[in-house]
């Protein structure tokens, strides 16, 4: 359950979700009563350290890996930086070629490209027209000196789910490591669908707190710490442990996984009825990734003849919250690199708008949002 109530319609769950009230309740004592530093040796520290151990075990159980493979971070961005840079730099002796899918979040893309100054070569793999990275395309890009491949579990704009199992087989056969950004799928889809040598998740995407995430790195995979100056997380991620946030992440992950079947069915029914209503009311709308397997929450559309930024602004004035491109970097007016990589025309890239549903939304909201969108689109087209 979440406490947020609003007369506005929030359709931006891919950007962030409201904190679950039960998660908040579980976190509260760790702000006030159990405030010790988990690295301290006295009883206050031990209490916090116990909470940390429990949270790590809970996360490990929820995702089916060993506790020692879990490294807590400040979120998805840091986890991606740790995985991409940490693994590539520590394994330079295996090669300096990295393959990255062109639809990755900037946290992955920019981490990979930052390694060019250390002599790494980066190959981008393009998706098909539905935003799916084909395993054959990854296979073609693999080289004897490929050290790491990064393909996300599901795209943050289109929601398109990637064939990670097939990609992993090919990457492994070539002796490289696979990094999988699971930030958008965590809590909604089981981790077994995305076998990899490491992955990133972020609690605020599944009704947990902001500013906390996990980098899971398979035992035996060497990586260099990217945060120096402390011995926390077995010396591999320095910084005082954020006990309340980590307790919240563990609880939110467990809860969302336990409820995922019911929530996915509900959320996808809202999304599907929203899309069919929009398609009925508006001409010239393309649902991006429509032929791919998609996350239940995401609805990314390109609205011909409209500027997505404009649509989002007018929707906001009518009380509907949506976004263009990657909302976490909103403020940026650059066109979506994801839609461009999918080969959409300039007009359709410019007209991209993402709606993402959550368990708090209602069927009435889905229908109202579709009607408001139709009015907005019609007023923009009339003004041209």
Q: Is 184 in the site for ligand PLP (CB under 6 A)?
A: yes
102 or 370: CB nearest ligand PLP: 102
Q: How far is the CB of 15 from ligand PLP (least distance, A)?
A: 6
CB 196 within 8 A of CB 87: no
Please, which residue, 184 or 361, has the CB nearer to ligand PLP? 184
Task: Decide if residue 183 touches ligand PLP (CB under 6 A).
Answer: yes
Is residue 105 within the footprint of ligand PLP (CB under 6 A)? yes
Q: Is 234 exposed, middle or buried (0-12, 13-18, 19+ CB in 10 A)?
A: exposed
- For residues 155 and 361, which CB has a smaller minimum distance to ligand PLP in the complex? 155
Closer to ligand PLP by Cβ: residue 10 or 277? 10
Nearest residue to ligand PLP by CB is: 76
Can you say how many angstroms the Cα of residue 56 is from the centroid of all Cα atoms in its chain? 20
Using the rule CB under 6 A, is 146 a contact of ligand PLP? no
The whole-angstrom distance between residue 58's C-alpha and the CA centroid of its chain comes to 21
| 18 contacts ligand PLP (rule: CB under 6 A) | no
Residues 312-351 that bind ligand PLP (CB under 6 A): 328
The region of 35-43, 52-60, 73-81, 222-230 touching ligand PLP under the rule CB under 6 A is: 73-81
Residue 106 CB, nearest approach to ligand PLP (Å): 8
Smallest separation (angstroms) from ligand PLP to the CB of 304: 26
Looking at the Cβ atoms of 176 and 203, the one nearer to ligand PLP is 203
The number of residues that bind ligand PLP (CB under 6 A) is: 14
Quote the tokens at residue 367: 């229908």
Answer yes or no whether residue 181 interacts with ligand PLP by CB under 6 A.
Answer: yes
Among 75, 131, 198, 296, binds ligand PLP (CB under 6 A): 75
Using the minimum distance from each CB to ligand PLP, give the nearer residue, 146 or 202: 202
Interface with ligand PLP, residue 213, by CB under 6 A: yes
CA-nearest of 364, 286, 287, 351 to 320 is: 364
| Catalytically active residues, by annotation | 328
How many other β-carbons are positioned within 10 Å of the β-carbon of residue 259?
15
Residue ranges binding ligand PLP (CB under 6 A): 75-77, 80, 105, 107, 152, 156, 181, 183-184, 202, 213, 328
């Amino acid at each position: 359950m979440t406490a947020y109530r609003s007369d506005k319609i929030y359709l931006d769950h891919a950007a962030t979700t409201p904190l679950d009230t039960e998660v908040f309740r579980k976190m509260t004592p760790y702000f006030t009563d159990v405030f010790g530093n988990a690295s301290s040796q006295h009883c206050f520290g031990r209490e916090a350290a116990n909470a940390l151990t429990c949270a790590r075990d809970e996360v490990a159980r929820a995702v089916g890996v060993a506790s020692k493979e879990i490294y807590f971070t400040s979120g998805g961005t840091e986890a991606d930086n740790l995985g991409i840079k940490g693994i590539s730099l520590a394994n330079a002796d295996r090669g300096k070629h990295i393959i990255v899918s062109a639809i990755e979040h900037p946290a992955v893309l920019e981490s990979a490209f930052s390694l060019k100054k250390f002599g790494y070569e980066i190959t981008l793999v393009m998706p098909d027209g539905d935003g799916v990275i084909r395993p054959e395309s990854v296979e073609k890009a693999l080289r004897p000196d490929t050290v790491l491949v990064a393909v996300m579990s599901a795209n943050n704009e289109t929601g398109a789910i990637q064939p990670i199992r097939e990609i992993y087989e090919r990457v492994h056969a070539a002796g490289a490591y696979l990094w999988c950004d699971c930030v958008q799928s965590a809590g909604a889809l089981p981790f077994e669908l995305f076998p990899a040598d490491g992955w990133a998740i972020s609690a605020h995407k599944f009704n947990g707190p902001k500013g906390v995430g996990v980098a899971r790195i398979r035992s035996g995979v060497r990586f260099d710490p990217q945060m120096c100056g402390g011995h926390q997380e077995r010396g591999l991620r320095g910084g005082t442990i954020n006990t309340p946030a980590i307790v919240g992440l563990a609880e939110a992950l467990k809860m969302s996984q336990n409820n995922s079947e019911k929530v996915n069915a509900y959320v996808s029914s809202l999304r599907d009825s929203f899309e069919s209503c929009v398609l009925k009311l508006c001409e010239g709308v393309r649902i991006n990734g429509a032929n791919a397997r998609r996350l239940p929450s995401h609805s990314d559309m390109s609205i011909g003849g409209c500027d997505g930024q404009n649509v989002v602004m007018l929707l906001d004035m009518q009380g509907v919250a949506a976004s263009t491109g990657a909302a976490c970097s909103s403020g940026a007016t650059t066109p979506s690199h994801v839609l461009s990589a999918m080969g959409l025309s300039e007009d359709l890239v410019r007209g991209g708008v993402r709606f993402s549903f959550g368990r708090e939304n209602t069927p009435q909201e889905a229908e109202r949002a579709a009607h408001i969108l139709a009015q907005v689109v019609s007023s923009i087209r009339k003004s041209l």
